[in-house]
Structure 1
């Protein structure tokens, strides 16, 4: 669809060439509008079958837990907000552990299908997720539409396998046999023969019922598969979503009239229709008559009057640059029982916009079988009668699921910043969101520690848990102290007091020996000398370690101080920054 010479997008209100208001708008479609008979066969078996076609507006990763005495199972889901062509928002969950869904992004166009309304019964595992997830609705089939190809995610709740079985005939035949045997007072064989027709009749009827039910289940599955095959062949262009809205560009500008974001090459704003460039007034010749008989032709060049829209990229990079920071410091970590650890502490704070994110869900399930044997021994009159052995087998299941991936941010320098994000951040950030991320990393010869000092999704006002490099530390010498303690106790136990006399005479000066002779109770307990030495050593080491910890803490504090000041500045001006970003978007 075009107006003048430029392609018109679905969100355009005015032609960007002439500024004229658009009376005819580009239309989007659903898969059911493109294929009116899409669900006819499916609804013969599932009257409540339905589809939703729209754009993913928001995503949130969360988990549900199934827990019993033997099971502790976690399952991952995406909570989606999908806007259809009429602007209606549909909210539901999809399986995040499917490969197709794992890399679903904000802005993707999807078609979700359900044969009948489904709900998730497992409890939401996290309190924060309970505030976000508004219902238990679940969509088992999702088609992701791209310009060149489509992908399908299929949940096991829709299956071709029929699980019904024939068992009613056995129950009724047993009941009939018992009635004939006890109520009708028949002998065993006549009662058995009397119940035989019931068993055969019910078996045939039940078998015929399950045969039809199985055929119906398979026919329903085939109808659903055929319908989703049609959805799978429906392209983004056919749905009309290929021209939904212009892709944001670094060259975009702010409209001089309505302050909306528009393309740099737009002559008129496609939101309000205002002309974006007021060109210089051309030079004009004006003839001024001094009298009726004489005319003097003069040429007057008027000064040009030009109004240019403001560049979005310049405004974005100015905001990013104001709150971004990167530096590093040399660091020496002092240790009592080991050599000092030398390295570098890197600090960085980045305010940026999410350009890309790669994510994948990983599930891990373990099973543990525990066999318990109980033996009951029976005695009568003091005589052994026998033993009863019972064996109980229990299976314990444990399942975990995690979301892993990387986020790429656009930065003020123009160089993308890529980092491995935590599950909380990765699961709630969409492409186009603004994120403020600050971190510190300690790199030495033997240690490499990473600390997320501060993280917030500015676009959604979501703050995340943090840690600080101030907590960095290392433990050396603990095993040595334990070994020395055990050795001192062993020496005190093995040797007598007189065994230490030669050592004391060698190490202690004569004046000290004379002083010890005045305290015979001390001399009698010289076997405790190793323990006493260990205690003194522990006290000295503790004091020494405390002094070093204060020195290390002071160095870490000085190193991170500049970063913390930037974080404080951003926190205080968060509302202002958020407002500026919302205007740019």
Structure 2
């Protein structure tokens, strides 16, 4: 018999308490299975409507952009993969700026409703996003099923527009004036006939616009009514509360099929083998111990002094903090920030008008231009698990937060140089669970503050000095005319007059050679500081395939 308080999950073949084969394992359902009447009502307004319910298996944040001469608009989307009751995978773009969807994550249960299809037309931003996002379909409406506080969102595209204005009667009036005028001639009859035709046209257009607007309102009311009805469908009714057993740190592996099972399971729910036999007692390591062992690898944390030598300026001393961690995402909490600003600029130009040579008047032209800038950003924090079971909440940049799901494993290395203007470098970042490299910058490429401002000052000083010197060079030589060298120099006056610039040119040659030497020294010093990290990352890449196999096994 099955133990009464032991839950049976979708996909279980055997009772984990009795070992008996299961005949009535839980089944997953879609919205239209639970609320067929509401779905039928929806189809009266949208005959091609369809819906699918599933668990989010992955989420990836990306952006789309529209740019024109007077607008630069950026929108954020989640590219999600949804696995339904038939293990079929569906992929869509979800509005990441919606308060309902801004914190969507792996494992969430989502019911997507398609009254009609929506297609995104703005350009995808970024090479990585263009490779991963394979479809332009946008989710029109969806419900997030949670244990508490279920929510839904309907795309603004379905919001009815205002009742259209009536304009055609104006054109009809003008045409009628010409028509009646050609037949009846100018007079009261022509005007009366034109007004009558325009009035009839206005009534017809007004009624047609009203009917069209009423249909829009009715369709929207049908959609919102259906979504309200769907909102009452719980995750438990859909069966998704039993879609998968929650993983626990104490979990172990079946000695026969290697399936991850609860530590107190008497039998494996997948293959039915008994877990308390002599052959299974050799297993003493649980998942938590395996995770802890893996998370302890590739850990780096050290500091070294660095002096950045400069040619035109004082050397810079700092402490460089280098770190590397292998971590697992425990939870992800995100929120969206949207800035939409329209700037209006008014330009007024006045000019005089002349008739011949005679002034007539002054006229003024005023032009108004506007520029709209829309920015979309995602902020948030990750709770991550590190070695020695350390749990830490840490902030990351938008691409890291949007590229990691709950349960993902990732390696993250950085080098922070504590200069007056700090240099923060992401040396390496890789999502092991999704085989995804994040963009990086390295301390090896640090170039220090620019010396161009000092060089420009020196150029101005030497140029000014050259101007003063060239203006007085001949007078100075005359004062030394009794000396032979003065007479010799007089034959080379073009050179003598530009001695400051020649000196500056020679200094530039020296600075260039010196810069090459100093740059090589600085780079060698930076590479030396990062050598321990580089060795660790090389070892990581060698062991990556085996590491991913281990992570896949315990995930």
TM interval, short-chain normalised? 0.7 to 0.9
Alignment correspondent of 1:471: 445
Distance 1:481 1:516 in 2: 33
Partner of 1:318: 293
Q: For 1:36-72, what per-residue CA distance to the aligned partner results, in whole angstroms no more than 9, with x for missing partners?
A: 3223443333223333222111212222232334333
Q: By how many angstroms is 1:108 displaced?
A: 0.5
CA distance in structure 2 between the aligned counterparts of 1:355 and 1:20, rounded to whole angstroms: 34
- Alpha-carbon contact 1:276-1:307 (below 8 Å) kept: no
The correspondence for 2:401, drawn from 397, 401, 426, is 426
For 1:5 and 1:528, the matched residues in 2 are separated by 97
The CA distance in 2 between the partners of 1:336 and 1:124, in whole Å, is 44
Query: How big is each residue's C-alpha offset from its partner over 1:110-164, in whole Å with a ceiling of 9 and x where there is no partner?
Result: 2222322222222333343333223222223222121121123332112144442
Matches within 5 A, 1:170-569: 170-182=170-182, 184-278=183-277, 306-308=281-283, 310-369=285-344, 393-416=368-391, 418-444=393-419, 446-475=420-449, 477-495=451-469, 496-497=472-473, 519-521=489-491, 528-569=498-539
Change in Cα spacing, 1:516 to 1:384, as seen in structure 2 (3 Å) is: closer
Equivalence for 1:296: none
Alignment of 1:578 onto 2:548: yes
**Any unmatched runs of 5+ in structure 2?**
none
Deviation at 1:498, TM superposition (A): 6.8
Select between 407-416 and 89-98 the one with higher mean Cα deviation. Answer: 407-416
Structure 1 residues 541 and 273: CA distance shift in structure 2, 3 A: same
- Trace 1:154-173 onto structure 2 (pairs within 5 A): 154-173=154-173
Q: Is the 8 A contact 2:343 2:372 kept in 1?
A: yes
Alpha-carbon spacing, 1:133–1:546, altered in 2? closer, same or farther (3 Å): closer
Larger radius of gyration: 1
The answer as to whether partners of 1:65 and 1:124 remain within 8 angstroms in 2 is yes
Give the structure 1 partner of residue 6 of structure 2. 6
The more displaced of 103-112 and 363-372 is: 363-372
Structure 1 gap segments, 5+ residues each = 281-304, 505-512
2:65–2:73 CA contact under 8 A, matched in 1: yes
Alpha carbons of 1:365 and 1:502: their partners in 2 closer, same or farther (altered >3 Å)?
A: farther
Change (3 A) 1:26 1:523: same
* Contact 2:489–2:496, Cα closer than 8 Å, also in 1: no
Kindly indicate whether the alpha-carbon contact (under 8 Å) linking 2:320 and 2:416 is maintained by their aligned counterparts in 1: yes
Q: Which residue of 2 aligns with 1:510?
A: none
Residues 163 and 210, structure 2, Cα contact 8 Å, conserved in 1: no
The change in CA–CA distance for 1:162 and 1:528 in structure 2 (over 3 A counts) is closer
Normalising by structure 1, report the TM-score: 0.84
CA distance in 2, matches of 1:274, 1:240: 26
Change (3 A) 1:503 1:247: farther
Q: Secondary structure at the match of 1:346?
A: strand
Going from structure 1 to structure 2, the CA distance change for 1:107 and 1:332 (only over 3 Å counts) comes to same
Q: Over aligned residues, Cα RMSD in angstroms?
A: 3.4
Could you tell me how far 1:470 is from its partner in structure 2? 0.6
Name the residue aligned to 2:57: 57
